[in-house]
Amino acid sequence: MARPTKLRCVAQLPNVGYFRPVGIPASALQRVCLSLEEFESIRLRDAEGLEQGECAQQMRISRPTFHRILESARKKLADALINGKAIQIGGGNFEFAQRLFRCSNDGHEWTVPFDTIAEKRPLSCPRCFSENISPMPLPPFAAGKGYGKRFRGGRRW
């Protein structure tokens, strides 16, 4: 039995979640689904110009895992560009570098770093120490569809 996939640390979301070729009706297009961790790997390696080791460190994964994610992302982008497919960005197996939480008792809001969330440490409000807390809502195309889920087959979309 395979080991469960670790959450990948994503620092930022894309400004746009869907790209398509001009002049082709959306109904006639095939699409390529790029996960948010694949987007993050492209951003770190190609846009930021970081070395693979640094990228892997920032995403809190191993170097070989980062390489596999990056290769998958590049193949999907090449397929979309060469074959005129739409690119949809969203979903995946990730957590934000910092997550905003709110206390239900006093309304206090604070950020929790990725490491704390990934290690599943118990959380409580830093002001009143209440455990009656909840995460703030996720951005629209990060919510559902794979956010922090562990997939075992089936479609992500």
Global pTM? 0.69
Residue 23 contacts residue 84 (beta carbons within 8 Å):
no
In this predicted model, which residue has the larger pLDDT, 83 or 147?
83
Mean pLDDT of 80-88: 94
Query: Element (H or E) spanning 36, and its range?
Result: helix 36-42
Task: Provide the pLDDT for residue 152.
Answer: 39
Q: Which amino acid is at 34?
A: L
Q: Which residues pair with 27 in a beta bridge?
A: none
CATH level 2 (architecture), domain 8-94: Orthogonal Bundle (1.10)
Q: For domain 96-135, give its CATH number from 2.60.120, 2.20.28, 1.10.3930, 1.10.3720.
A: 2.20.28
Cβ atoms within 10 Å of 82's Cβ, excluding its own: 8
Task: Provide the pLDDT for residue 133.
Answer: 84
For the chain, domain boundaries: 8-94, 96-135
